[in-house]
């Protein structure tokens, strides 16, 4: 008599059968000695217990030290994870061989359950991605970014006013500035503090912080789990993902629909979304514009918040690092005006601080995982097609051979004795990724970071908080442990540097609203 099984058990039966097939095939095909070094795994589950979930960048760096290799390998349920812990390995594979290392892993969490598949960063490599990237590059390549400088300066000078009025709320002010300038450029929205659209991106990015790291979501390693009934123990991830999708859909759709309504009601100010939609020859242009607007909205605001927060925290921990840059600003500006982007060549100390912020604590320490499309060989090691490949920006930017005392915040490492910028020390490009997947908005990001940091240092001294006795408190150097890593909550003081600073802020802030 044929066995009968309840329909609710069929996914579990399929799961067990699938795991057995994966294990048998992987055992038949694997060549243990040809993979890069890494921890020994268990049958079927492989290295699942070795994949770090918190501070993974540091764990992988320690792993490479343990195995005396700048490339390490793990295998989980038949999926291969490759971590590149040196600039040379990352450049050799992700940059020089970017034609085969530029794909993205199609994961259940990102591409099926939460709605993040629309983001430029997660679209698989191919013609559809090229359409998106080409349009995005037209608006954010280096030569295009100067058109946004006035909007960036407007947002930064409003930030100064907010920091002067309520310095203790500095993190809220940074969040507002970062979100406001992107909403202005992408949708032509002029927003005020507390605008719900800024909250939309914060909620959606909170989802990314949980789902991106390779090997941390079981359903991405065992896709059959997505078929489990939501009521089954262990399937709670499906209910959570459904809630997350509401947040992500809101970020991509709500501002874009409001923008389209504005376009229909009246002539809208020229902006990124309007420009992309003008390429109406593509039948998918509405969806592409929606995807790109949401991508710029998300990446442009959240990583800027993270990096500026890291800047403030760095000067709280290393307050002397601001002195030379402020002296330089006073010499160039004479405490009579605020900086412009045209002052950049005269302010190498400010640029050195920007570079050191990007190096000292990269906001995305492990980057977004790449996917290898064909089998490859590197330094005698076999890297199988389909491998998830990560460039460990943290390990690369804390290489003691390139950056002595890497845990110290030392902007002077980028400067010659005469104060000019050095050309013999690598620019921390790892912060922005690699190869064809390098951040398309990096030129925009660098300019707004430079403007914000130059403005803040011109008028404020960043100082440690005081205790009840009036003595300075040095906060613990603690950071959050996941995809986007930022300082844990801390306090500081923004003190006007000179007698005319407040007047300068007030005048410039009023002018920026014109």
At 364-393, the pLDDT tens digits run: 999 999 999 999 999 999 999 999 999 999
Q: How close are the terminal C-alpha atoms of the chain, in Å? A: 83
Residue 182 within any structural domain of the chain? yes
CATH number of the domain residue 177 falls in: 1.10.630.10
Strand order across the beta sheet in which 71-76 lies: 71-76, 79-84, 388-391, 370-371
- Please give the pLDDT value at position 282: 73
Over the stretch 90-146, which tens digit does the pLDDT of each residue have?
999 999 999 999 999 999 999 999 999 999 999 999 999 999 999 999 999 999 999
Residue 180 within any structural domain of the chain? yes
64 is in an annotated binding site: no
Residue 20 within any structural domain of the chain? yes
Return the structure tokens found at 346: 């005269």
DSSP letters for 295-306: HHHHHHHHHHHH
Residue 312 within any structural domain of the chain? yes
Tally of structural domains, the chain? 1
CA nearest 160: which of 514, 513, 504? 504
- Please give the pLDDT value at position 221: 83
Q: Which domain holds residue 230?
A: 7-512
**Distance from C-alpha of 400 to C-alpha of 407, rounded to nearest angstrom:** 9
Neighbouring C-alpha atoms within 13 Å toward the C-beta of 331: 11
CA nearest 78: which of 240, 227, 221? 221
Residue 185 within any structural domain of the chain? yes
Residue 68 within any structural domain of the chain? yes
Residue 2 within any structural domain of the chain? no
pLDDT by residue for the chain (514 residues), tens only, comes to 333 334 444 454 455 555 555 555 555 455 555 999 999 999 999 999 999 989 999 999 999 999 999 999 999 999 999 999 999 999 999 999 999 999 999 999 999 999 999 999 999 999 999 999 999 999 999 999 999 999 999 999 999 999 999 999 999 999 999 999 999 999 999 999 999 999 999 999 999 988 987 777 889 888 899 999 888 888 899 999 999 999 999 999 999 999 999 887 766 678 999 999 987 677 799 999 999 999 999 988 889 999 999 999 999 999 999 999 999 999 999 999 999 999 999 999 999 999 999 999 999 999 999 999 999 999 999 999 999 999 999 999 999 999 999 999 999 999 999 999 999 999 999 999 999 999 999 999 999 999 999 999 999 999 999 999 999 999 999 999 999 999 999 999 999 999 999 999 999 877 664 4
Q: What is the pTM of this model?
A: 0.92
Residue 1 within any structural domain of the chain? no
Residue 44: phi, psi to the nearest 5? 65, -60
**Cβ density class 423-432: b for 16+ within 10 Å, e for less:** eeeeebbbbb
């Amino acid at each position: 008599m044929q066995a009968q099984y309840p329909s609710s058990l069929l996914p579990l039966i399929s799961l067990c059968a699938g795991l057995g097939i994966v294990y048998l095939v992987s055992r038949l095909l694997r060549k243990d000695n040809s993979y890069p070094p890494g921890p020994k795994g268990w049958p079927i589950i492989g290295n699942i217990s070795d994949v770090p979930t918190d501070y993974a960048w540091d764990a992988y760096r320690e792993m490479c030290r343990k195995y005396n290799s700048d490339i390490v390998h793990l295998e989980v349920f038949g999926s291969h994870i490759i971590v590149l812990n040196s600039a040379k390995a990352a450049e050799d594979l992700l940059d020089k061989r970017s034609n085969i290392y530029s794909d993205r892993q199609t994961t259940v969490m990102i591409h099926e359950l939460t709605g993040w598949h629309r983001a430029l960063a997660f679209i698989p490599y191919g013609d559809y991605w090229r359409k998106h990237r080409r349009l995005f590059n037209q608006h954010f390549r280096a030569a295009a970014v100067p058109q946004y400088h006035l909007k960036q300066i407007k947002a930064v000078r409003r930030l100064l006013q907010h920091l002067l009025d309520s310095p203790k709320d500095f993190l809220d002010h940074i969040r507002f500035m970062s979100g406001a300038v992107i909403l202005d450029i992408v949708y032509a929205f002029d927003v005020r503090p507390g605008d719900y659209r800024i909250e939309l991106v914060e909620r959606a990015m909170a989802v990314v912080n949980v789902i991106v790291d390779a090997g941390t979501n079981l359903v991405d390693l065992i896709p059959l789990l997505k078929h489990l009934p939501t009521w089954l123990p262990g399937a709670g991830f499906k209910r959570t993902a459904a809630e997350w999708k509401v947040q992500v859909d809101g970020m991509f759709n709500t501002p874009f629909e409001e923008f389209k309504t504005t376009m229909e009601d009246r002539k809208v100010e020229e902006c990124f979304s309007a420009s992309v939609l003008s390429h109406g020859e593509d039948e998918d242009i509405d969806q592409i514009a929606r995807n790109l607007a949401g991508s710029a909205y998300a990446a442009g605001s959240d990583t800027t918040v993270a990096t500026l927060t890291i800047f403030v925290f760095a000067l709280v921990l290393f307050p002397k690092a601001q002195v030379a840059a402020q002296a330089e600003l006073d010499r160039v500006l004479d405490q009579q005006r605020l900086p412009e982007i045209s002052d950049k060549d005269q302010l190498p100390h400010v640029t050195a601080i920007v570079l050191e912020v990007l190096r000292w604590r990269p906001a995305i320490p492990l980057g977004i995982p790449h996917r290898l499309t064909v089998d490859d060989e590197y330094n005698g090691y076999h890297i199988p097609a389909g491998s998830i490949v990560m460039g460990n920006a943290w390990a690369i930017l804390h290489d003691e051979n390139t950056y002595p005392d890497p845990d110290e915040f030392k902007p002077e490492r980028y400067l010659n004795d005469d104060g000019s910028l050095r050309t013999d020390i690598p620019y921390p490009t790892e912060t922005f990724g690699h190869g064809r997947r390098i951040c398309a908005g990096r030129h925009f990001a660098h300019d707004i970071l430079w403007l914000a940091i130059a403005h803040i240092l011109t008028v404020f001294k960043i100082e440690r908080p005081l205790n009840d006795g009036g003595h300075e408190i040095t906060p613990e150097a603690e950071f959050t442990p996941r995809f986007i890593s930022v300082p844990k909550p801390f306090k500081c003081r923004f003190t006007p540097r000179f007698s005319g600073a407040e007047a300068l802020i007030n005048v410039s802030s009023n002018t920026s609203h014109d």
